[in-house]
Amino acid sequence: MSIAAIIFAFIMPIVGLILAIIAKKNDPDDKLAKAAFIISIVIIAIGLVSSIGCAACTACAAASMEGGSYAAVLAL
């Protein structure tokens, strides 16, 4: 289970996180499950931060194309 968790941590981090939690419940001393848990959390966090940054950049670009100001976008 922990081997599948570590593989899915890179492919589909949410599935890897779920599998890591299940593997950790079955064997609390499993270091591979702990690694899969940490990798999944880090990849999910990086994805969220990059999505928020991309949304902010898109909003600023849209505001500048429409003749708006950046202050109006940042006020959201």
Question: What span, in angstroms and rounded, lies between the C-alpha atoms of 8 and 25?
Answer: 18
Res 5: pLDDT: 93
Domain coordinates in residue numbering, the chain: 2-74
DSSP conformational letter for 7: H
Angle at 17 between CA 14 and CA 21, to 5 degrees: 145
Residue 66, helix vs strand vs coil = coil
CA dist 50 and 46 (Å) reads 6
The length of the chain in residues reads: 76
Please report, in tens digits, the pLDDT of each residue of the chain (76 residues total).
Answer: 899 999 999 999 999 999 999 999 999 999 999 999 999 999 999 999 999 988 888 877 777 766 655 555 565 5
